[in-house]
Amino acid sequence: MRELTLLARLPGGDPAAVFDRLIAFDRYAELVETVRAIEIDSMSPTQMDSRWSVFFRKGILNWAERDYLDRPNLMIRFEQTGGDFDVLEGGWQIVPTADGCDIRFHTTFDFGVTSIESIVEPIAARVLRENMELVLIGLLGDGVLFPSAGPEGDEELHTRYAVFDHNQVPDIPGLAAGERGLAPSASGPAAS
């Protein structure tokens, strides 16, 4: 099992507009070559069902997912309902800031084949993070920044990601200590 967390910052970004752009799945194929197609099967104000087809290495990954749209809390949670992964779940959280908003993407995935997970899952995580960067830049513009902690704990802004093994996600500056996934923090509003 592998986890991927991507943090982004959009100075001057309107959190509600970012939410609307993130759920525009039909645009993802225009922005990233590896996305073959995304078909929206149904959509309501709080839920969306979609089918995804994505190039991966020399093959194609297909899955269906259900997305739970929580506009008041600026959260999108997804889970695979069928397809090539054994486990695929995660979500987006948009956090308003004094000068725009922070965006957090988190996913957990597992192909369910223990004999190849140490080879395939790190590659999948790298491809996923690269594609999520392109999606965010395509949807939100070149002003998107990707913060990470520097060697002294100071925040640096650059295009970097963090990929973690399951249950090994470190504390991330600006997020509640020990918080993982999309569960609300006991110390305050959900920050995932």
Best CA proximity match to 161, nearest among 126, 191, 117: 126
- 168: how many CB neighbours lie within 10 A of its CB? 7
Locate the domains of the chain by residue range.
2-165
| Amino acid in the structure at residue 93 | Q
Alpha carbon 73 to its chain centroid, in Å, reads: 16
> Which tens digits make up the pLDDT trace of 3-45?
999 999 999 999 999 999 999 998 999 888 889 999 999 999 9
What are the pLDDT digits (tens) for 113-154? Answer: 888 888 888 888 888 888 888 899 999 999 999 986 444 444
Contact partners, residue 50, CB within 8 Å, separation at least 6: 25, 38, 39, 40, 41, 64, 65, 67
Q: CA-CA distance, 145 to 70, in Å (whole number)?
A: 24
Domain 2-165 is found in CATH 1.10.3720.10: no
pTM tops 0.95, yes or no: no
* pLDDT of 90 above 80: yes
